[in-house]
């Protein structure tokens, strides 16, 4: 697609190409691989690309554990470690507004992974607090949110209380 568009802009009318028969899953894998080689790719794009590729590989009869659970199998998804691929895929569990904060660089990757374990309502409550206080959670705050969420549950009051704490990098 990119070569055809570039050729058109350059005034070239014919583009040499190989036509390879692929099933739907094979085509998805090729698509993801070519997109992951772009110069600048947002964390959300990478997350959904890895997820799409993992689903395509699973349809070919392999389990996610076989693909991203072992170091040697992680190469099927990416040249990144299997654990890193899993972290990117976790980002797909974020609500779109929080994922946009990650893409904009306002929330770092590692805290975002921790926040992906919160349920949708907890993420909505967190989003409200982020917008209200105009600050985003640190890694330690995100870890606490996850722990509380998996325990007794995260309330808007607890989110506000934790977000109001002074962060280590904010101390003078």
Name the token pair of 91: 């980002």
CA separation for the pair 98, 116 (Å, rounded): 9
Q: Is the pLDDT of residue 162 over 90?
A: yes
With CA atoms as reference, report the closest residue to 71 among 93, 86, 91: 86
In tens, the pLDDT along 4-53 reads 888 889 999 888 877 778 777 777 767 766 666 666 889 998 888 888 88
pLDDT at 74: 45
CA 21 to each of CA 25, 27, 30, 62, 152: distance values in angstroms, whole numbers, following the listed order? 12, 9, 12, 21, 52
CA separation for the pair 107, 160 (Å, rounded): 17
Mean pLDDT over residues 130-154, rounded?
A: 93
When pLDDT is cut at 50, 70 and 90, the band that residue 65 belongs to is low
């Amino acid at each position: 697609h990119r070569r055809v568009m570039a050729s058109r802009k350059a005034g070239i009318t014919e583009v040499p190409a190989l036509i390879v028969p692929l099933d739907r899953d094979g085509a998805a894998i090729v698509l993801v691989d070519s997109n992951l080689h772009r110069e600048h790719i947002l964390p959300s794009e990478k997350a959904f690309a890895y997820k799409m590729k993992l689903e395509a590989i699973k349809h070919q009869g392999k389990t996610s554990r076989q693909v991203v659970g072992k170091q040697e199998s992680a190469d099927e998804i990416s040249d990144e470690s299997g654990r890193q691929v899993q972290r990117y895929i976790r980002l797909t569990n974020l609500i779109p507004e929080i994922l946009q904060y990650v893409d904009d660089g306002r929330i770092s990757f590692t805290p975002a992974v921790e926040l992906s374990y919160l349920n949708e309502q907890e993420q909505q409550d967190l989003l409200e607090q982020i917008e209200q206080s105009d600050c985003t959670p640190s890694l330690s705050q995100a870890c606490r949110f996850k722990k509380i969420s998996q325990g007794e549950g995260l309330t808007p009051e607890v989110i506000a209380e934790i977000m109001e704490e002074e962060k280590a990098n904010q101390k003078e």
